[in-house]
């Protein structure tokens, strides 16, 4: 269940990033990046002992999603 929640959080963050960004990659790329980032953040949370669906687990999914999206935007802007 927590993986599904992490994916939903990632999709929400990806959608928000797609709306705010300049859309060079398209909104689908932002949705995928947000989901992957949320899964990584949630996985790292569970790896370090977090159990179940808690506020901290959701926060870690948000942080992972945000970090991956910011990295992508930072790298893609330097190329132009």
Predicted local confidence at residue 51, as pLDDT: 63
pTM, to two decimals: 0.73
Predicted local confidence at residue 37, as pLDDT: 83
**What would the two tokens of residue 53 be?**
């669906």
Kindly list the domain boundaries of the chain, sorted by start residue: 2-75
As a whole number of Å, the end-to-end CA separation of the chain is 40
Predicted local confidence at residue 19, as pLDDT: 79
Predicted local confidence at residue 54, as pLDDT: 64
Per-residue pLDDT averaged across 31-57, rounded?
76
Per-residue pLDDT averaged across 6-14, rounded?
82
> At residue 25, does pLDDT exceed 70?
no
């Amino acid at each position: 269940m927590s993986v599904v929640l992490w994916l939903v959080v990632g999709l929400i963050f990806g959608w928000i990033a797609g709306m705010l960004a300049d859309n060079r990659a398209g909104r689908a790329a932002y949705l995928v990046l947000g989901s992957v980032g949320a899964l990584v953040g949630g996985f790292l949370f569970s790896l370090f002992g977090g159990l179940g669906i808690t506020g901290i687990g959701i926060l870690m999914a948000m942080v992972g999603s945000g970090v991956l999206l910011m990295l992508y935007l930072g790298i893609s802007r330097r190329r132009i």
